[in-house]
Structure 1
Amino acid sequence: MTRRLTLLFLAALLPLLAGAGQAQAAGYRYWSFWERDGSAWTYATVGPSMSRPADGDVVGFRFSVSEDSGDAAKPRGAAGFDTICAKTPAEDGTKRVALVIDFGTPADAPSGAQPPAGRTVCAQVAQDATTAEALASVAEPLRYDSNALLCAIAGYPAKGCGEQVAAGGKESAATGAADTEEEASAQDDGGSGPSVGLIAGAAVVVVLGAAAVWQVRRRA
């Protein structure tokens, strides 16, 4: 009987542990922020509200699913300042910043959403303007959560903010697509607590352990 309980325990626990492993491999759906360095994109080290580009700089935004900055997708499309700002003459007291906005692929889009076509645009803003201010001048409406995380550019996506996504591209049950800024803030821990699979696995351990003890006492 003890052997049978052991086999039942393993049969119940292994799928749960496998599910927990898949949850750990999940990424996040969000807008990443990039700066153009010569001919290459580099992941920005500060947020757009802290970045102050100079006249002639090129910055980019890409909506995608990724685990971290190491595997984040880079903006696609033309990235040359001379091309993007060719029709925007310089003016005293302002600076020109070229923006590349990549709304991502259908695979990266939230369920039921279709990403708009990517765009390049030249923002002419005050000399002390931040990247966030430059973006707001050409791509409203923007949406942020309560932690100043950029959630939407030009209204895309319509809802959600940095939600966790399973390996197959589905939103995880733990985080889902936050419909409001308050929901996004409430999910701010990003799934750092124990997963549902691990909690359920612990419950199986308790139940089967109690059954084993009961059998030993019964036989005694």
Structure 2
Amino acid sequence: MTTPSPQDPQDQQQQPTSQDSAQQQDPQLQYPAQPQYPQPQYPAQQPYPQAPPVPPKPQPPVDVVTAFQLLCGVAGLAVVNLIATLAVAIGDRASFADQLVRDIRAQDEAVEITRSTAEGLLLIGFGLTAVLGLVLIGVYLLFAFKMRAGRNWARMVVTMIAVMMVFVAIPTVFGLGAAGGAAAVVAGGAGILQAVLAVGAVILMHRADSNRYFLPGLQAK
């Protein structure tokens, strides 16, 4: 019995496989080459349009900032003036109540109103006056903030209010000590200081740097 002798590795490499020999014997068994399909050409993606850069918000000049601080001082003095005025009115509510009773009876004698009822009506009126005064002070502060933000219409409104304060304060300057009581003196002094601060704020708001801030068209000139 003969044992198979191991074949030389070179002989194994030289021996063709059955598939290769079959392809060499029959050319029809060769597989055709795969066709090359054209790759689709996509158009280049256009970049999205970018929004124009937002210009930085101009900072208010020193004069405008100082004017805003003065206007805040005017609002604070307005609160002091309101409290002092209400204190004067409440302290003298007895005479106001008597005057209210006389006025009502003069208009219609059939209407009966007591002094206590008149005082109650006056207290309600004082409360409504306080609420209305605080609302007006808040609106004034809103105008001041808009002025600092560069709104020219707010500057004009604040200027007109300052002119009104000056006209109201002129009689107080000459009759500051006419009314008795510390509350009346405080109210008169607060009104005068309001007018002074308001005038200072108006002057600062209408200087050259301030005009360029409120009217940007002047910067090119």
Could you say which structure has the greater relative contact order, defined with CA pairs below 8 angstroms and 6 or more residues apart? 2
Larger Rg: 2
The bucket for the TM-score relative to the shorter chain is under 0.3
Give the TM-score normalised by structure 1: 0.28
